[in-house]
Structure 1
Amino acid sequence: MAESGSKIEEDDEVPGRVKEHLCQPCLSKDKQTVADKFCSTCNEFQCNDCSNVHNVLAILKNHKLVGVKEADVASISFETKALDLCDEHQRSLEFFCEDEKKLCCSKCAIVNHRKCHSVVEIEKIAEKITSPISTLGEKLKEAKEAAESVARQICSSKDQLAQDIKEIQVKIRQMRDEVMNMFVDLEDSVNKRAEIMQKETLRYLTKKQTQNEKHLADVTKCLETIENIFKNGTPVQKYIAERKMESKVNALCRNIKEECQRLENVNISFQFDDTIKLPPLPVNEYVPGQLQFKFHHQGEVNSVNMMMKLTPVSAIILKKSENDTDLPLYTGIDFLPDGRLVAVDNTNKKCLVYNDKLEKEGSYQLSYIPLSVVVVSEEEIAITQGVGYNIEFLHVSKCNEITPRRTYKVNTIYYCICLKDDRHFVVGTCGKPRPVRIVSLTGEESDFGVNFPNKSYPVDTSDSTYIKSSDKVVITDKVEHTVYIYDIKTDTRVVVKDDQIQEPCGVAVGPSDTILVCSSKTKTVVQISQRGQILSSYKIDMDYLYKLCVSRDKSFFVVTSNCVENSKMQKFKIST
Structure 2
Amino acid sequence: MASPVPICDICMTDNITKPASVWCSECEEAICNDCERQHDRMGLTKNHKTIQVKEYQNLPSSVAAIKQKCIGHSLKFDFHCVIHDEPCCVSCVAEKHGTCRKLKPLSEVVEGVKSSAAFADLEDRAKDISALIGDLVTKKQNDRACFGVQKNKIISEVQNVRTAIDNHLIKLEKDLLYKLDNMEKKHNGDIDNFIEKLSDMRKKVEKICVDLEKTRQHASNFQAFLSIHEWNKKIEIEEKIGCLYKPTS
Question: Is the shorter-chain TM-score for this pair beyond 0.5, marking a shared fold?
Answer: yes
Map of 1:107 onto structure 2: 91
Distance 1:118 1:169 in 2: 70
Distance 1:137 1:248 in 2: 122
Distance 1:217 1:18, change over 3 A: closer
Map of 1:235 onto structure 2: 221
Partner SS for 1:103:
strand
Partner SS for 1:19:
helix
Name which one, 1 or 2, has greater alpha-carbon Rg.
2
Distance 1:18 1:143, change over 3 A: closer
Partner SS for 1:261:
coil
Give unmatched runs, 5+ long, in structure 1: 23-33, 38-44, 46-67, 263-296, 298-576
- Are the aligned partners of 2:81 and 2:104 in contact in 1 as well (CA < 8 Å)? yes
Distance 1:72 1:218, change over 3 A: closer
Distance 1:178 1:201, change over 3 A: same
Distance 1:86 1:144 in 2: 33
| Deviation of 1:260 (Å) | 3.1
Distance 1:122 1:255, change over 3 A: farther
| Deviation of 1:119 (Å) | 4.7
Deviations 1:341-384 (A, max 9, x none): xxxxxxxxxxxxxxxxxxxxxxxxxxxxxxxxxxxxxxxxxxxx
Distance 2:185 2:223 in 1: 44
1:20 maps to amino acid: Q
Map of 1:36 onto structure 2: 43
Deviations 1:456-514 (A, max 9, x none): xxxxxxxxxxxxxxxxxxxxxxxxxxxxxxxxxxxxxxxxxxxxxxxxxxxxxxxxxxx
Distance 1:108 1:159, change over 3 A: farther
1:21 maps to amino acid: H
Map of 1:2 onto structure 2: 25
Partner SS for 1:21:
helix
Q: 2:245 aligns with which of 259, 265, 274?
A: 259
Structure in which a larger fraction of residues adopt helix: 2
Distance 1:134 1:102 in 2: 20
* TM-score (norm: length of structure 2): 0.59
Map of 1:147 onto structure 2: 133
1:167 aligns with 2:174: no
Distance 1:251 1:195 in 2: 39
Deviations 1:226-254 (A, max 9, x none): 43234333333333333333343233223
Deviations 1:264-299 (A, max 9, x none): xxxxxxxxxxxxxxxxxxxxxxxxxxxxxxxxx9xx
Distance 1:153 1:86 in 2: 46
Aligned pairs for 1:138-537 (under 5 A) are 138-153=124-139, 156=142, 163=148, 167=152, 171=156, 175=159, 179=162, 183=166, 186-187=169-170, 189-232=172-215, 233-261=219-247
Distance 1:137 1:86, change over 3 A: farther
Distance 2:184 2:94 in 1: 115
- Are the aligned partners of 2:80 and 2:109 in contact in 1 as well (CA < 8 Å)? no
Distance 1:226 1:18 in 2: 147
- Are the aligned partners of 1:96 and 1:102 in contact in 2 as well (CA < 8 Å)? yes
Give unmatched runs, 5+ long, in structure 2: 1-23, 57-62
- Are the aligned partners of 1:6 and 1:21 in contact in 2 as well (CA < 8 Å)? no
1:105 maps to amino acid: C
Distance 2:208 2:103 in 1: 146
Map of 1:92 onto structure 2: 77
1:132 aligns with 2:118: yes
- Are the aligned partners of 1:93 and 1:104 in contact in 2 as well (CA < 8 Å)? yes
- Are the aligned partners of 1:84 and 1:93 in contact in 2 as well (CA < 8 Å)? no
Q: 1:20 aligns with which of 35, 38, 43?
A: 38
- Are the aligned partners of 2:80 and 2:103 in contact in 1 as well (CA < 8 Å)? yes
| Deviation of 1:96 (Å) | 0.4
Partner SS for 1:132:
helix
1:7 maps to amino acid: I
- Are the aligned partners of 2:82 and 2:102 in contact in 1 as well (CA < 8 Å)? yes
Distance 1:214 1:181 in 2: 49
- Are the aligned partners of 1:109 and 1:119 in contact in 2 as well (CA < 8 Å)? no
* TM-score (norm: length of structure 1): 0.29
Partner SS for 1:142:
helix
- Are the aligned partners of 1:7 and 1:19 in contact in 2 as well (CA < 8 Å)? no
Structure in which a larger fraction of residues adopt strand: 1
Distance 1:85 1:216 in 2: 125
- Are the aligned partners of 1:95 and 1:109 in contact in 2 as well (CA < 8 Å)? no
Distance 1:131 1:104 in 2: 24
Q: 2:101 aligns with which of 118, 132, 147?
A: 118
| Deviation of 1:198 (Å) | 2.5
Distance 2:201 2:29 in 1: 136
Distance 1:126 1:225, change over 3 A: closer
1:242 maps to amino acid: I
| Deviation of 1:142 (Å) | 1.0
Distance 1:81 1:229, change over 3 A: closer
- Are the aligned partners of 2:70 and 2:89 in contact in 1 as well (CA < 8 Å)? no
